[in-house]
């Protein structure tokens, strides 16, 4: 996936330029004056297990958000909702959050697991197969894809491919469709409803080079591009125990492909927490909000609040490590330049040059805050003679992310999101509910 970073970063530079134009227009039109108080931190909120459980709001959430807005309903600090959900449009999720939290939420504050797909423009004009549920075609079109097709479209074109459910098997094999274009990429938005159908047809697409009606080819390495959003193995709803997430579906797909071909399934990109691409994009959204408010002080610290050690905490700590390494490299370049008397640093091919201020992370740290209202259980019941919980002994993260005990160690553990906001205010010496 490292090969895609230059493309991702170039796209973020373009987004940064657009953000500058948009923020200048908004601020100029509104005539908003700069305030004496300018925050230097931003908040990244998970949703499931932090603000809600299933469709049931967590009581502490509304209390927390009353502290984050002034009397006019303006947020006092940049706030981004970073969710691994991907089965709806951002505006729909923003409306849901507004009802739950009792404060106005804009779609520009919501980041779905699929949001970074906006910057993968090399696929926007291709025929892409999308898997998941909800308004998939609307979501794909909104993200910039001009020719998406669904699993149902493939099934309707080739009904004889879907043979697991005896009640849905065709009694007479139809002639295969000839108008289905070659599928050039597959995008996994989230867990589907009929897993057996999606698993079968995605494997068909991968093993036929994008022509699912054909017979399997010799294994092509690499297969057509596969991009996946939301790697959560499990998530927390109203049930007492976690439920299967899209990460579980991906485990099934990976193992089926491996069993059939003997080769590992390869992803062009993985999006959603704990991916660095997701946190980098979220940091860009935070900076955009600060620019729209005409806050000139850079956002130096991000606080990521979540309930899942393997996604929220791992991702925040992974991005924090990235920021520290990035700052270290930048500092080393500056010292080399000063010592050599040159004003230009040499940039390697794997380390893309940053040309836009809004595309370069202003944050220097990302701190993880774990709450106990979701998937994390601070007092697990364990068998006699066992001293560790399952989440401490088994890595629930995705196959392509290596286990590192340090990355699942939260910076802070609090009871709920209200306590998390109080803690952050204390650390930042910030008072909520102040007018701007």
Residue 97 has pLDDT above 70, yes or no: yes
Cβ-proximal residues to 36 (8 Å cutoff; 6+ apart), any chain: none
Please tell us whether the domain made up of 117-271 is placed in CATH 3.40.50.1000.
Answer: yes
Q: pLDDT band at residue 359, thresholds of 50, 70 and 90?
A: low
For residue 243, which phi and psi values (nearest 5 degrees)? -110, 155
DSSP strand E in 268-417: where?
Answer: 269-271, 301-306, 365-371, 412-414
Structure confidence by residue, pLDDT tens digits, 307-345:
999 899 999 999 999 999 987 766 544 433 333 333 333
DSSP 353: P
Structure confidence by residue, pLDDT tens digits, 132-142:
999 999 999 99
> Across residues 172-182, what is the average pLDDT?
74
Mean pLDDT of the residues in the chain: 83
| DSSP run (H or E) holding 124 | none
User: Cα–Cα distance between 199 and 151 in angstroms, integer?
Assistant: 10
pLDDT for 341: 35
DSSP 110: E
Check the CA dihedral 306-60-390-241 and report its sign: negative
Cβ-proximal residues to 244 (8 Å cutoff; 6+ apart), any chain: 191, 233, 234
pLDDT for 355: 30
Structure confidence by residue, pLDDT tens digits, 267-297:
999 999 999 999 999 999 999 999 999 998 9
User: Cα–Cα distance between 353 and 9 in angstroms, integer?
Assistant: 9
Chain centroid to Cα 319, Å, comes to 12
Q: At what angle do helices 59-66 and 90-101 cross, to 10 degrees?
A: 90
Q: pLDDT band at residue 165, thresholds of 50, 70 and 90?
A: confident
pLDDT for 397: 87
3 state SS of 48? strand
Residue 22 has pLDDT above 80, yes or no: no
Closest CA to 300 of 115, 427, 112, 116: 427
- Second CATH level (architecture) for the domain 2-112+274-428: 3-Layer(aba) Sandwich (3.40)
Residue 113 has pLDDT above 50, yes or no: yes
User: Cα–Cα distance between 264 and 247 in angstroms, integer?
Assistant: 16
Closest CA to 312 of 381, 238, 229, 375: 375
Q: Where exactly are the structural domains of the chain? A: 2-112+274-428, 117-271
Residue 164 has pLDDT above 60, yes or no: yes
Q: Which two tokens stand for residue 273?
A: 């927490």
Identify the weakest region by mean pLDDT among 12-21, 324-333, 372-381.
Answer: 12-21
Domains 2-112+274-428 and 117-271 share a fold: yes
Query: Please, where are the H alpha helices in 67-130?
Result: 90-101
pLDDT for 259: 96
For residue 53, which phi and psi values (nearest 5 degrees)? -125, 105
User: Cα–Cα distance between 410 and 368 in angstroms, integer?
Assistant: 5
User: Cα–Cα distance between 281 and 95 in angstroms, integer?
Assistant: 22
> Across residues 8-31, what is the average pLDDT?
49
Structure confidence by residue, pLDDT tens digits, 30-75:
434 444 578 999 999 999 999 998 888 999 999 999 999 998 889 9
User: Dihedral, CA atoms, 53, 56, 58, 64, nearest 10 degrees?
Assistant: 110
Q: pLDDT band at residue 349, thresholds of 50, 70 and 90?
A: very low
> Across residues 357-375, what is the average pLDDT?
85
User: Cα–Cα distance between 260 and 203 in angstroms, integer?
Assistant: 9
pLDDT for 418: 97
pTM above 0.75, yes or no: yes
pLDDT for 178: 59
User: Cα–Cα distance between 10 and 277 in angstroms, integer?
Assistant: 13
């Amino acid at each position: 996936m490292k090969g895609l970073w230059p493309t991702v970063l170039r796209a973020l530079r373009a987004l940064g330029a657009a953000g500058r134009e948009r923020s200048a227009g908004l601020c100029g039109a509104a005539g908003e004056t700069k305030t004496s108080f300018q925050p230097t931190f931003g908040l990244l909120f998970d949703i499931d297990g932090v603000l809600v459980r299933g469709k049931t709001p967590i009581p502490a959430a509304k209390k927390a958000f009353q502290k984050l807005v002034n009397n006019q309903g303006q947020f006092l600090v940049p706030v981004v909702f970073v969710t691994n959900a991907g089965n709806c449009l951002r505006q729909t999720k923003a409306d849901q959050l507004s009802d739950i939290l009792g404060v106005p939420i804009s779609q520009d504050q919501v980041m779905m697991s699929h949001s970074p797909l906006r910057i993968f423009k090399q696929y926007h004009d291709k025929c892409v197969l999308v898997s998941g549920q909800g308004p998939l075609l609307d979501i794909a079109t909104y993200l910039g894809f001009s020719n998406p097709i669904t699993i149902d479209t493939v099934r309707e074109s080739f009904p004889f491919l879907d043979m697991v459910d005896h009640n849905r098997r065709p009694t007479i094999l139809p002639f295969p469709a000839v108008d289905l274009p070659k599928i050039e990429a597959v995008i996994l938005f989230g867990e589907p409803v009929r897993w057996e159908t999606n698993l079968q047809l995605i494997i068909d697409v991968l093993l036929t080079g994008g022509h699912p009606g054909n017979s399997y080819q010799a294994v092509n390495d690499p297969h057509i591009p596969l991009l996946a959003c939301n790697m959560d193995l499990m998530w927390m709803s109203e049930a007492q125990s976690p439920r299967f997430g899209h990460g579980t579906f991906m485990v099934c797909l990976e193992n089926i492909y491996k069993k059939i071909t003997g080769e590992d399934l390869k992803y062009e990109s993985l999006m959603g927490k704990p991916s660095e691409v997701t946190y980098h994009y979220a940091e860009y959204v935070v900076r955009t909000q600060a620019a729209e408010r005409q806050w000139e002080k850079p956002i130096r610290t991000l606080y990521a609040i979540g309930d899942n050690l393997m996604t929220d905490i791992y991702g925040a700590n992974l991005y924090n490590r990235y920021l520290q390494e990035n700052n270290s490299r930048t500092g080393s370049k500056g010292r080399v330049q000063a010592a050599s008397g040159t004003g230009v640093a040499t940039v390697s091919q794997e380390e893309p040059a940053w040309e836009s201020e809004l595309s370069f992370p202003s944050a220097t740290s990302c701190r993880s805050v774990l709450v106990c209202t979701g998937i994390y259980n601070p007092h697990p019941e364990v068998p006699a003679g066992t001293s560790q919980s399952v989440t401490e002994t088994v890595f629930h993260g995705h196959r392509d992310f290596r286990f590192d005990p340090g990355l699942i160690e939260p910076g802070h553990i609090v009871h709920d999101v209200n306590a998390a906001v109080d803690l952050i205010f204390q650390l930042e010496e910030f008072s909520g509910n102040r007018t701007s």
